[in-house]
Structure 1
């Protein structure tokens, strides 16, 4: 098995971790084993290589762990129906394998990965304080993803119908997305901001187009109705919330609501809105993203 991002950091270690049901999750580790621990959870239709800019930046002085969500990348699909609780259990399995009470992690989740973090907190609340020292929720929201998305614009009289069509479209299994100019235009519109460079568009498209259509559809069906709101109140560590100002998939309103909810409990470390960035804020505005994560790491 060959790492997609091997060689980008001083140390690269690939391993498989069994989740609670025996499903094998592919995990990559970079950096010194005794360094501060960062665990990254990617979003829908992506894989561990999505975190390339963070691996390159943090691995020299951090222990960086990325994993492929179930069915994505090199991770097995398993036989258990996909669900929000499955996201939680898979993240719990990864954290139990790499973190300890003496080496706690900052857990970073993007989009569906952020929902994984919130679901994990809701399903395994005792693990939060035991295994984590901070969290970053990037381009994500706990619920109402379809109704609050600005991907599909329609007159008010047609909005409900458009939302139903959008939700149904998320769960479509297949077809395979060909690598064409049209597919890249659609990926750019849906996931990136207007200032994204051609290199970022190419990298993002290459990642998304690798996702198996069955996996895309099955997880899309989960996202259409997901609600991990109770996990927000189960987070018990400082949290940074970051979002692109031009995010159409999870618009800034989600992040504002998350920040306010965390602030009322004294857990909001920072709310960062990156002007011009779309959904893939860590790829588009690497400097701003990495700086926000460094500030969180210094504080906790």
Structure 2
């Protein structure tokens, strides 16, 4: 599949966006260093009944490099801005976040309750306690310096696609990376994606702390589903606690790894389609 879409400027950055299907809108956002095509197995199951919007965050997939570090509110407003630019600003959407993008999806649901029909968290990142690290500007500078050094050494071209392949294999319960070699090279042999991943990883705890603050300040009104891969008893317990905290429906997906959209696309799609709409 791996449809390529269009580029839309939001906040001065060109974002790669793919829109398919028809019906109520759902927005898919993948985890750290992942790309729009990682949702490929899920989209055909949704498109007959949903307008599916998937996009690459800055420094991911085909989107332009990130100009500012990520924040919970910034990522929430990014989703809103993309929907506005697509002419979908009046739609109530189901927002779907995988891994670290679960933070972004939850932030959208809390900051834009009138635009949120449902929230689906796909093996989302979970942090019960998080404090924003000090000196964020220094951390950003350090991440950019590391990225620049690795780029100058040719690491993205030499190791990027191999690292992508290995990461996907380790994050699944079985099978390798189904993405086409051309797409993997086009995205992961670039300094752009390396820098985007470094920046998001550097500010992970800050974003987590911001989500915890939003939980204390903004209610979650949207029907919510938490999908969890049974990686370990500890991980399942954390996902169960997240579902309880969010008053969400919990679904443990047997046989799925962290990249659930590749291991169990039917479970992901059915959870999106059956999430109650307010």
Instruction: Work out whether the TM-score is over 0.5.
Output: yes
8 Å contact kept, 2:76–2:108:
yes
DSSP 3-state at the match of 1:215: helix
How many residues are treated as equivalent by the alignment?
248
Separation (CA, whole Å) in 1 of partners of 2:61 and 2:28: 14
8 Å contact kept, 1:42–1:110:
yes
Separation (CA, whole Å) in 2 of partners of 1:115 and 1:18: 22
8 Å contact kept, 2:21–2:52:
yes
Cα drift, residue 202 of structure 1: 3.9
Matched, 1:222 2:203: yes
Separation (CA, whole Å) in 2 of partners of 1:17 and 1:39: 15
Q: Identify unmatched segments of 5+ residues in structure 2.
A: 131-141
Separation (CA, whole Å) in 1 of partners of 2:232 and 2:3: 26
Specify which structure has the bigger relative contact order, considering alpha-carbon pairs within 8 angstroms and separated by 6 or more residues.
2
- What does 1:266-285 align with in structure 2 at a 5 Å threshold? 268=248, 270-285=249-264
CA deviation vs aligned residue, 1:48-94 (integer Å, no higher than 9, x gap) = 11111221111123211111111112212242233333322212212
DSSP 3-state at the match of 1:226: helix
8 Å contact kept, 1:70–1:78:
yes
Matched, 1:192 2:172: yes
Corresponding residue for residue 79 of structure 1: 67
Q: Compute the TM-score of the two structures, normalised by the length of structure 1.
A: 0.71
- What does 1:116-135 align with in structure 2 at a 5 Å threshold? 116-122=104-110, 125=111, 127-128=112-113, 130-135=114-119
Matched, 1:17 2:13: no
Match for residue 21 of structure 2 among 26, 31, 46: 31
Corresponding residue for residue 39 of structure 2: 51
Matched, 1:97 2:85: yes
Distance 1:202 1:48, change over 3 A: closer
Cα drift, residue 239 of structure 1: 0.4
Distance 1:5 1:254, change over 3 A: farther
8 Å contact kept, 2:72–2:107:
yes
Cα drift, residue 204 of structure 1: 9.7
8 Å contact kept, 2:109–2:116:
no
Separation (CA, whole Å) in 1 of partners of 2:98 and 2:220: 16
Corresponding residue for residue 231 of structure 2: 246
DSSP 3-state at the match of 2:231: coil
Corresponding residue for residue 296 of structure 1: 275
Cα drift, residue 143 of structure 1: 2.5
Cα drift, residue 283 of structure 1: 0.9
RMSD, matched Cα: 3.2
Distance 1:110 1:172, change over 3 A: farther
Q: Identify unmatched segments of 5+ residues in structure 1.
A: 7-13, 147-167
Matched, 1:5 2:20: no
8 Å contact kept, 1:18–1:93:
no
